[in-house]
Chain A
Amino acid sequence: MTPYERILTVPPSPAFWVAVIAYAAATAALLFALGGKVKVRPAALGLVGLAFIAHGVDIAWRGTLHVHPAQSVREALGLLAWILTGGYLLASTRFRLTLGGVVVMPVSLVLLLLARLTPAGGSPPGPEGAGDRWQPDIDFSALGRVHISLATIGVGVFALASALSAIYLAEDRALRRKKLDGLALGRQGGAPLEALDRMSHRLIWVGFPIFTLALVLGAVWTSRLGESLDRIEYPLALVTWLAFAALLVMRQIYGWRGRLAAKLTLAGFAAAIAVLLIYLMRRM
């Protein structure tokens, strides 16, 4: 059995199903907490923790079967969801991010389901003239793995920054509409706007160099594979990079922050997600 065939035949572990149930239950519990059932919140965070652990066990279990978490884009989606959940848990230790959880948990769940249950598809046709030398985008070279790993971590960090930006925009809107007791700010009080803005900015500082390195390695990898650069995901990846680069530069020089920065963060992240989805669709 080739490594490619092996990946297609590795089924989800029992821990995967635990993670799925925990993600769904955590989403429901966080919704209750957001609706005013404050006492449910600790249990909801407990479920998030359980989902994170079970998800991690599933990734490790696949590792024992020689499936690298960044082996392919499909596999990397699972890793991305895990990073997202871990980041949310970490941020929740400092702030009440009930609304953020209601957004992040379903996203993690969908990413995990996409990573494990979507049809893996067959080997896509290679470029014309590549013949037997061509490998599908599941590449087992060190360069491919490092590229996908870094890109996944970078996008994961951007995803966290984007979640915080989305919460920022929701809270900003509530404050402007004078809805101090609305869902965004909530009875438990959301995270302060200034802190959300600051944390999102710091995350972009962390994610940007990782993502930049991933892009460079990706370019090298692509040139080694002899692929043409006219695929749509390449300019989209560049849009992501430019959006976050602009954010860092403009904040440094002109003090861009607040709503504008949050919207640009979401735009950059949307481009990154589009790249991932295009890869995924191509594999199906």
Chain B
Amino acid sequence: MKLELRGITKRFGALVANDHIDLVVQPGEIHCLLGENGAGKSTLMNVLYGLYDADEGEVLLDDEVVHFAGPGDAMAAGIGMVHQHFMLVPVFTVAENVMLGHEPTRGGGRLDLEAARAKVVEISERFGFHVDPDAIVEDLPVGVQQRVEIIKALSREAQVLIFDEPTAVLTPQETDELMGIMRQLKADGAAIVFITHKLREVREVADRITVVRRGAVVGEAKPGSSDAELASLMVGRSVELTVAKDAPRYSDAKLEVKDLEIVDPDGLVLVDDVSFTVRGGEVLVVAGVQGNGQTELADALLGLVTPSAGSITLDGTELVGRSVRDFLGQGIGFVPEDRGVDGLVGTFTVAENLILDRIYGPPFVKAGSLQLRARDEFARAAVEEFDIRTQGIDQPAGRLSGGNQQKVVLARELSRELRLFVACQPTRGVDVGSIEFIHKRIVATRDAGVPVIVVATELDEALALGDRILVMYRGRIVGIVPATTPRDVLGLMMAGIAPEGSEAA
């Protein structure tokens, strides 16, 4: 089935989220919709899926104009969507989830679970999904849950499949498998829309690439385009994707973590016997799929969680058991994983947020009183230096875009005298243009002789920034390897497989 969007325009108040977007997706083709966060990709797909009404434009299926009042209509017309956040009921089985919404019934309105199971088995076998129809969804790994979503769409005879940022939650291996699945579906004649902002994935599977920027189509790219070409189309200017950095020059500074163990209130061991050293002037990347203990490890490095065993010493000073304020006082800069939650007070102004962890004495506080002039001068300088796009230092930080919020956090943390810098997923949800800037600042911090730890879930970032890469799996260190390690080895490590001859296990 051929899908065509003609002149789709969607406005939210004064903002034009989609500006006369045209898109054609042929059967047996993977069409990539590439764009930064907030470029309007998801809005477009929600229009297509009947979640939003377009202000202008039309949707055509096989050259016939269709109109969807809701997802139900879209599904009935053969459009299936695999959402970024899975739309599954965690406590239901696979078969129950698949039939949810169009339950097959036998006489008297009884559910026909057998039919649903058979359907799951049939589709699963056709594409080699290996999904057990009776498994409870919440027990399944994320990658398999995603396949359930795909089965769900296929079970409704979907001929157009939309994948909305499907790889955000997957390991590199799972991503590769998903690519394989997409190719298979394509061979089966499906028309596939693949929404992403990851360049590598685009190059791997796309037959056609449409780049969206600020709500409008800015061009089509050939599948053979280089990363740099795609990125500059996406951002609107040329972008450096690789971080230029010299070989590390070690300083005397040193962070030592020894036999660290963190147990959550329920007794679950989240960080298990973790030991490593970071020297001044090097970046250690802590890599792994989200939720394998990296967050807790990072939190422990700021005293946010107290380890149940082990030690953290910075230049010989033991830090375990001290307060967060003591950690900050030791010169630890910290960029939390979730800036909206842990990094900023959204209702506070940019200026207030810029001094939030520096209120324990001059220059911003004297005799218990805020020094507004010093604060505002500092804030203006920081906005300038870090290129924070804001209407003013009095604007609430929560109104800034993700990238600019992150720059506020970075500006606050990096404009202090630092002895250790910990950045958790510093570029998550940040536009490509800001990523470049953030990476440069992190490398500059390293070059100033500060030990740097970066928690990363994406291999690209780990390889770009790291001098060494520490991979965690289920709270343990799988290995600490040099940044020259091949991707597939790192991918295996993220799934818990230690390479031969690695530093630690």
- A and B are interacting partners: no
A binding-site residues for B, Cβ under 8 Å: none
B binding-site residues for A, Cβ under 8 Å: none
